[in-house]
Amino acid sequence: MSRDGSKQGMSTRLTSYGDEGFSLFLRKAFIKGMGYSDDALSRPIIGIANTYSGYNACHGNVPGLIESVKRGVMLAGGLPIDFPTISLHESFSHPTSMYLRNLMAMDTEEMIRAQPMDAVVLIGGCDKTVPAQLMAAASAGTPAIQLVTGPMLAGSHRGTRVGACTDCRRFWSSYRGQEIDDQEIAEVNDKLVPTVGTCSVMGTASTMACLAEALGMMLPGSATAPAVFADRLRFAEQTGTEAVRIALEKITPETIMTQAAFENALRVLLALGGSTNALIHLTAIAGRLGIDIDLAAFDRMSRETPVLIDLKPSGDHYMEDLHHAGGLAALLREIRPLLHTDVITINKRTLGENIDSVPVILNQNVVRSRENPIFGQGGIAVLKGNLAPNGAIIKQSAASARLMKHTGRAVVFTSMEDLVNRIDDPDLDVHADDVLVLQNIGPKGAPGMPEAGLIPIPRKLAIQGVKDMLRISDGRMSGTASGTIVLHVSPEAAHNGPLALVRDGDLIELDVENRVIALKVNDHELDKRRQETPFETPTENVLGYRKMFLEQILQAEEGCDFRFSRPPLTSKVPR
């Protein structure tokens, strides 16, 4: 029992045998087989979600982090117990890690609910793991604190700094364009990931780490410390100590992840030039708390929130440089007038107090001032039009200026298979000013909304030196990618979306300044095509998780969560 008489530790969440005393007796008998004493078992229990996997280099340092968290928990008088959950790595998840994000969230949520713990430390890193864990924490309602594995260090190739995975894509594009040979592409493959940890650029993993800190669910400063630095282990120890405090004080996720906190996170996403995926993830996390993300209001925020972080893919530097420049606090300080600095964070301080506690690093060139931005508006713009009635997005900070207002002829691929079969066909009817359109890679259509929105430049054009084209899909792209890419078109093609009606030769207009994405085909012709186009994804012969996924998955603007995991919405952000 705790001091106030409520259940604590081993006495919580007892297995039901019809005799509560026997349930506790049996539980203690089995856990003592692990060598625990009655004194240890009388303390607050801190669960530690262990996402280590031999498939997941992003989480290669998790065993060391767990030991450091345990040390912090024990120094604070708690009992740490780690437990395994699903681990997702972007490159080792078929068909895509997004297909499995909600499964990981369910697994984590139910393991938190099922096992005795007074608080939980969530150790994640690779793209979908942090959002899955925050979704789980929001639903489970148990005191929780996030800890990320941290970014890898940058590598070096022939005297040039390189890092996963913006440079992965850059070198592969050069290889497709025959600018580098087999020997060099094999050589650079050894240099892109020099240490364990998440991608060293402002991809989805780094973006979500920064947003977890901005939300207040993670210790200040802990978003940017590289995976192999001693700083990372010290943050892990401090996280364990804080976990004991939030357990005793019963600080639950909904008290931290408030409407104002989500507004702060959206501001930070825009100022980071962060991953487009993060908008879907924030929407899913907020949705678990009954909070709706308003895309129109988000776009208004974008017009007044400049990109200030000079990191790839929107800039030139790497995550370790941001850490040396003062971490996320350096950015928060620059956009402070746009933030709710009075929100309470996981360390019991306000966001403003956390910002003030970090020294200013003079003469750093990674975080720009608002007077000298990388890009004058936010990294992401929201588009609408007859091609995307419910919205689409573009990472404008990583797009080509010449294509921000463009009208071109559609070259349509109806599926991933069709893309793979035809994109490098020398007879493909395609020109540099055309618009590449990929259908049926949305939440239902793929399924799982893969990161295939970065449609490859057709080989025949890549060899001619073409580096970018306007590309449109109902899928996603990696946060490490760049280019003029319209994503998250909603409704998706497989869900009665107009994207399914696009045909080769149709004209498509993009006007980012006016936030327009339009199919230049008259309504009569579209109605005719609609009658001829099969939409719904068949589920009658599908079983198991995939059947549940197809029946329950929501669209991009609703976070691609499962319908049954999202309570009624009671508020909206931005306000």
Average of per-residue pLDDT across 163-180? 92
Lowest mean per-residue pLDDT among 11-25, 69-83, 526-540: 526-540
The confidence band for 262, taking pLDDT boundaries of 50, 70 and 90, is very high
- What's the average model confidence in pLDDT over 95-109? 97
Provide the Cα torsion 466, 468, 474, 476; round to 10°.
120
Residue 300: what are its φ and ψ, rounded to 5°? -65, -40
| Residues with Cβ within 8 Å of residue 450, at least 6 apart in sequence | 95, 96, 98, 99, 416, 441, 475, 476
Could you count the other beta carbons within 10 Å of the beta carbon of residue 407?
14
Per-residue confidence (pLDDT) for residue 537, from 0 to 100: 65
The per-residue pLDDT for range 454-511, each reduced to its tens digit, is: 999 999 999 999 999 999 999 999 998 899 999 999 999 999 999 999 999 999 999 9
Average pLDDT over residues 1-14: 77
Contact 449, 284 (CB under 8 A): no
pLDDT of residue 128: 97
Distances (CA, A) of 205 to 128, 150, 210, 452, 570: 8, 9, 9, 17, 29
Q: Does the structural domain 380-557 have CATH classification 3.50.30.80?
A: yes
Q: Which two tokens stand for residue 219?
A: 């210790």
pLDDT, position 238: 98
Query: Where do the domains of the chain lie?
Result: 155-189, 380-557
> Mean pLDDT, the chain, as a whole number?
96
Each residue of 301-330: pLDDT tens digit? 999 999 999 999 988 999 999 999 999 999
Contact 132, 101 (CB under 8 A): yes
pLDDT value of position 353: 98
| Residue 370: strand pairing partners | none
Percent of the chain with pLDDT over 90: 94
Cis peptide bond upstream of 359, omega within 30:
no
Q: What pLDDT shows up at residue 575?
A: 72
pLDDT at 539 over 90: no
pLDDT band at 541 (very low <50, low <70, confident <90, very high): confident
pLDDT band at 574 (very low <50, low <70, confident <90, very high): confident
Q: Is pLDDT at 1 greater than 90 in this prediction?
A: no
Q: What is the mean pLDDT of residues 414-433?
A: 97
Q: How much is the average pLDDT of 26-48?
A: 96
Residue 532: predicted pLDDT: 87
Q: What is the pLDDT of residue 519?
A: 98
Q: Are 204 and 275 in contact (CB under 8 A)?
A: yes
Task: Please report the DSSP string for 279-339 in residue order.
Answer: HHHHHHHHHHTTEEE-HHHHHHHHTT--B-B-BTTTSSB-HHHHHHTTTHHHHHHHTGGGS
**Residue-wise pLDDT tens digits, 229-249:** 999 999 999 999 999 999 999
pLDDT of residue 3: 52
On the question of pLDDT at 2 being above 80, the answer is no
